[in-house]
Chain A
Amino acid sequence: MEGTKLYLQQLAVICRKEILAIWQDKATRLIIVIPCIILGFLFGYAANYNLEDAPYAVVDLSHSRESTDLIAAIDGTRFFRRKVTLQNASQIGKYIDNGDVIMAVTIPEDFAKRLAKGETAPVQVITDGRNTVIAGQAANDISQIISQYNRKRTGRKSPITLETRTWFNPNQITRWFFLPGIIGLLSFSQVFLLSGLSVAREREEGTFEQILVAPVSEKIILVGKAVPPMIVGMIQCTILLLISLFWFQVPFAGSYLDFYTAIFFYVLSSTGFGLCVSSISKNMQQVLVYVIVIMVPMALLSGIITPVSNMPVFLQVLTYADPLRFGLELIRRIYLEGLPLSSLAWNLVPLTLIAAVALSVAGYLFRHNLN
């Protein structure tokens, strides 16, 4: 009983000190809160594959009522914004090449004539393939605009209508897909770095020895070192969640309890990774290097940009050591789909395993990596 009380006290003391160290330094304090908010907003806007007012160019060689109508139809949508009207097709190259427009629409001379004859009138669309995603999206959007226009013009419905329902994200807003990812990524990078630097910094300053000679067990040090970055991580998640909920209005479908439970495990394993790196490193420079070398591939492999299932098998295997992958899966499924944690529980297994392995390695190295 006495022992437990002592442990708890020591734990509280170490946590308090860690938090003080973060919170008392003005620069550190700012760095934890402000960028998180700013980046949350910026990324929220930037992380988007939906076209909104994307610049395009038009070459109208037909100069007819029909062609003007068509251009008006394109301009009338929120997807495209006409940047220039060109006189001939040879000018297109320059505009696309310079990145001024992402798409160019060419309406041929015989456009009106063909339509009048009841033939199919082709319209040429050129997209900028340097950004394949946006190019594909633009092609999709323009084809929808034109088929709608066709329907309106001929007053005839297509014999087949496609009724599409996009589950969990009815309007297909890519931001919905990315925002939960950003919650994961931003908090991950911060937690990883913070915990990564914590032990290395104390080693460099000599204070770690001071703790090691005190009657504190490695476990307590470990937990004490892990809790503050986790708290920071949870706070950042909350900030980002609030931005996503109230500013970007991405509806939260799941239960907050589930969400935070998932975040807890996710942040725990990220911290474990960070502490592990920290106890291996000799100094802060090494920590930074390791953090980058580990974090960038982890971010890319996490499925934040492309689905894990699209990856080749050997890379998919690698992702099992990536807390970001499972964290992301959990956050997205709970946030957007509202799935209960119970049905996602298998995601917690790798997270817990990663945390357990990383933390025990870190704890062992505290005392055994002294030289």
Chain B
Amino acid sequence: MDEIMIRAKQLNKTFTIKKGKQVTALKALDLTVKKGVLTAIIGPDGAGKTTFMRLVAGLMKPTGGKLTVLGLDSVSGAEEIQTRISYMPQKFGLYEDLTVMENMNLYADLHGVPQDSRPSRFRKLLTMMGLERFTGRLAGKLSGGMKQKLGLACTLVRSPELLLLDEPTVGVDPLSRKELWEIVQQFVREENLSVLVSTAYMNEAALCSHVYVLNKGELLADGTPDALCQIAAGRCFSFPPPQGEPTRVLQAHLIDDTEHIVDAVPRGGKVHFILQEHVTNVPYLDAHGIKAEPVAPTLEDGFMVLLHKAETESLPVSREEEEILDKGGRPGKEVNIIVKNLVRKFGDFTAVANTSFEVHRGEIFGLLGPNGAGKTTTFKMLCGLLPATSGVLSVAGVNLRTARTQARANVGYVAQKFSLYSNMSVMANLEFFGGIYGLPPKRLKERIQDVVSKFYLSDRLDMKAGSLPGGYKQRLSMACALLHEPKILFLDEPTSGIDPLTRRNFWRRITTLAAMGTTIIITTHFMEEAEYCDRFMIQDNGHLLAIGSPAEIRERLHMEGADMDNIFMTIVEQAREKGEEPK
């Protein structure tokens, strides 16, 4: 008999926001987690993943239904549950002014890990996490991915009976992500650990034995990853783009055709798409004489079909946007950003070493790299938020840092972390950012109307920005950055922790923007998103490892058709092997 670790029966959870208004977070949820396996919850924003995790951890009381964890009632047995399980919240509460070691010791002490078993356990964890060199470093000084790993290390200081991971890999690079999952899997194997994980990465969910798909608090489907893949069986196709045509433009054409197509995405240098039910041919492809090959479905495909069935709001694309696509789509000749021999040092530490590249008008340029590679530093220098130690830096003809204020009007910036005013309404935020960019009142009004309709914000204009669901927040950040129609748009990990559906919508907007001539610099941890880029570069330890278009880089590595995660890891690992000795 399989032992049941978590059993939820008809579980309900509603929140009362002011004036008696209620929001349903979970509706009649039935869910079981078995011992010794990995179970995943996937679902778009607001599906109720975090709420469920918190209910299991005894941090919230269910409104209705029954929830037993380790055979205990989640309310009356909360104290004991909390003693026996480990939980890693989405934002793990590391003490930033404590060192790596001190953080781990704190959790080991709290969990009562005996002193004598600590050295070996810690060594194992630190090695696995790649943190052994940083034990004395303050947690606040670690990069985002390393923080996440340290959070996991703190959660795993002892072997719990049940491990809850709430989106553990948000903002973590593919390399670390892979390592992190290997660690979790290893613990499952070696210590018979039971794990419940929520994630936005479908390829991670595919590693689990059982997957629950949630949407708006309701269970859409559950099963093994294979079973869920089969939902899209027979409807998945792909084709390579004709010479010279950006993949993303074709993908955009397909995804716009909601009548025939559920989903389209650039993948492995090709355009991958799912047909609607009972549809056999796509008019756009027929018209252009493109033949698509059937391919095996992935979990992501199954997920997209499920969401589509549940009629999740897929944000429609306007006629206007479709037309823009027909006109442009190819980057211009004009050079918009010049970086030459850029160096940035913090004390003895070189964050960015001698980096040079150029970005053209209307180009989508990706900055990729493991956590701590120097992406954010490069990014901040480009935006003028950080002075360069040496080198030439020119954005739209000026160095933003030293340029007169007005030069910054050409630039839009979306920060990594949601950084709008949480206690102001959506409208007030828009008015504020439009205002400081100096839009005249009439123009501001028009622009707000425009972005509100483009980013589908009209139904929440009076809501406080801080209480928006994640997808809305991300759209609002974009809307604010685009109010003044910048020539260049900087996006720092805009898709971190965002589900595939929202990301499709996001990239569709980016495609339009690029087609209209906006230059876009973007960092991301979803390597497949590099497929949308015209060109991208990979950094590690401050050094530039590779730069070029996805096709060029594939060719250089002789890895045609390989997915981006693989390409990325190959490049970084090769460079690390070669460059062990410092330059």
Contact = CB atoms under 8 A, between A and B. Distances in A.
A and B: direct contact (Cβ < 8 Å)? yes
Contacts of B383: 213
A209 B419 contact: yes
A20 B400 CA distance: 30
Interface in A176-235: 205-207, 209-217
Given A13-B431, A21-B424, A210-B415, 10 more contacts: A17-B421, A17-B435, A206-B415, A207-B419, A207-B420, A209-B413, A209-B419, A213-B385, A216-B405, A370-B386
B385 A20 contact: no
A10 B424 contact: no
Contacts of B421: 17, 21, 205, 207
B436 A10 contact: yes
Given A24-B423, A207-B421, A213 B432 contact: no
Contacts of B360: none
A215 B419 contact: no
Nearest to A368: B387
A150 interface: no
Interface string A234-262: 00000000000000000000000000000
**Chain B interface category by residue count:** 20 to 34
A16 B440 CA distance: 16
Contacts of A206: 415, 417-419
Interface in B380-436: 383-386, 400, 405-409, 411, 413, 415, 417-425, 428, 431-433, 435-436
Nearest to A22: B423
Interface string B207-226: 00000000000000000000
A213 B419 contact: no
Of B346, B383, B419, B432, which is in contact with the most chain A CB atoms at under 10 Å from its CB? Answer: B432
Nearest to A218: B405
Nearest to B428: A20
B332 interface: no
Nearest to B421: A207
14 contacts: A16-B435, A17-B432, A20-B428, A25-B423, A205-B421, A207-B421, A210-B415, A210-B419, A211-B436, A213-B383, A213-B384, A214-B436, A215-B408, A216-B436
B437 interface: yes
B411 A213 contact: yes
**Chain A interface category by residue count:** 20 to 34
Nearest to B492: A209
Contact of A12 (B413, B422, B424, B435): B435
A20 to B, nearest CB: 6
Interface of A: 6, 9-10, 12-14, 16-17, 20-21, 24-25, 205-207, 209-217, 370-371
Nearest to B418: A206
Contacts of B431: 13
A210 B385 CA distance: 10
B438 interface: yes
A223 to B, nearest CB: 13
A121 to B, nearest CB: 72
B434 to A, nearest CB: 8
Given A210-B413, A213-B411, A214-B408, A16 B419 contact: no
B432 A16 contact: yes
Contacts, number: 83
Going nearest first, the 9 A-B pairs with the smallest beta carbon separation are A13-B435, A206-B419, A215-B409, A215-B408, A213-B413, A217-B405, A17-B432, A6-B438, A214-B436
A216 B436 CA distance: 7
Contacts of B417: 206
A20 B430 CA distance: 13
A20 B426 CA distance: 13
B385 A24 contact: no
A162 B16 CA distance: 74
Contacts of A209: 385, 413, 415, 419
A211 B413 CA distance: 10
A216 B346 CA distance: 27
A10 B438 contact: yes
B385 A370 contact: yes
B437 A215 contact: yes
A238 to B, nearest CB: 26
Contacts of B408: 213-216
Contacts of B386: 370-371
B461 to A, nearest CB: 15
Contacts of A21: 421, 423-424
A50 B447 CA distance: 64
Nearest to B438: A6
Contacts of B424: 17, 20-21, 24
Contacts of B384: 212-213
A245 B385 CA distance: 50
Contacts of A210: 413, 415, 419-420, 433, 480
B437 A214 contact: yes
A9 B385 CA distance: 23
B349 to A, nearest CB: 12
Interface in B229-244: none
A9 B438 contact: yes
Nearest to A208: B419
A207 B414 CA distance: 11
Interface in B437-478: 437-438, 440
A20 B440 CA distance: 20
Contacts of A207: 419-421
